Structure 1
Amino acid sequence: MLMHSKRRIKVVLVEDNHKLAGLISKFLVPDGMDIHHVDNGANAVHEIFVNNPDVVVLDWMLPNKDGLTICSEIRPKFAGKILMLTARDDGADELSGLTHGADDYVRKPVDPRVLAARIRLLVFGNERVKTQPKQLIFGRLTIDHESQTVTVCGDRVDITNAEFNLLWLLAINKNEVLSREELLMDMRGIDYDGTDRTIDNRIVKLRKKLGDKDKTAPGIQSVRSVGYRFLADNW
């Protein structure tokens, strides 16, 4: 589950397209990440080991030395995560990146929101499992992770596994806005394409089942064009 850490994430971005690198940095820096940009393959290995980041975001096609070669060179001595960017629409190429030591990949054109979600998953994935509580209680609402049950005023609510997982994800990150990209990535491991209504449809069903009808003080708040927020004090 998401439960974002307060510490900033150190990222070395190896990307020769300055416009794309600027766009990525513009989005990731306010989102809790410090970016060190390297614009060519020749200096990448040195800069990675000097900066010792949490994550290396590594473009596949680079001048002087390609991303796959860099990945192979740093992997034996680099303890952080490696995420490759690729414009290639070939499963064999993606498999090659993973077998050379990459932890994940994102296809171009890059959506910075998806990239941010992937980076957080790489860095904080294990921490979420370790710090997850067994039960959450908010006013009349109780969510029990061990039994996978939900009660409102002591009455059990009949919800599906998928609905429970979505509710738990929102509640464990109470009062924090979670984007559709983050929710889909955390729950299903897939990118949000801008049209998928899975999350929205589940929210509608959850609100109905939980009796969340107060539009002025909703328990699950819609954040326009972004996603949803679980408001802990409104239950």
Structure 2
Amino acid sequence: MSYAPVTHVLFDMDGLILNTEDLYTVAFQNILSKYGKEYTFDLKCQLMGCHAHETADKIIAALELPMNREQFMEETQKQFTCLFPDTKVLPGAKELIEHLHNHNIPIGLATSSSKESYDLKVNKHHKQLFSLFPYKTFGSSDPDVKKGKPHPDIFLVAAAKFPDKPKPEQCLVLEDAVNGVLAARAANMQVVMVPDSRLDKQLTKEATLVLNSLTEFKPELFGLPAFK
């Protein structure tokens, strides 16, 4: 296949740069176990990329939990405070971010996380790496991001933060989640997907390109500088 050249790159964070999707699963299951409920992979796939309050509402409704949004989010915050400080960078992410930065390719972060959640995940071990993103958009905190993924809001808001205001088709999105891919496509952007290996391959069809890991990504396919 041939791909259209791009000039700007937008990165998702959870499950793409950091192993936080695994930690979300642990956190939610720790809460649900008290009620004899299971946080299944199918439910997880529906929620990846949603805003925090959307996630809370959907889990409560799907599993008929005897709690409201505020109570659920209070419980999750306790879990996150314990789990998130020790996040790990996923294979290929650091190398790609540094490569694009070193070649002066404009890059931005477009995460559904709140600013508070981001700080928990990044500040202990990864501040230097994330300092390479001059433009960051936190979907659960940014008032301009009206709707979470699969709506296009977050990527359109993130792209608008670049000083040269690129057109959507000039931006490449890197994502791991189905909702994120759908959001990128709705924003009229190409999207490279690095899905969980358990995900049904039928659910990856909207992606421009699907990879097993960011270590497989070849920037030159999209007109970006190649690794040497």
With normalisation by structure 2, the TM-score equals 0.37
Quick one: higher RCO (CA 8 Å, sep 6+), 1 or 2?
Answer: 2
Greater Rg by CA: 1
With normalisation by structure 1, the TM-score equals 0.36
* Structure number having the greater helix percentage: 2
* Structure number having the greater strand percentage: 1
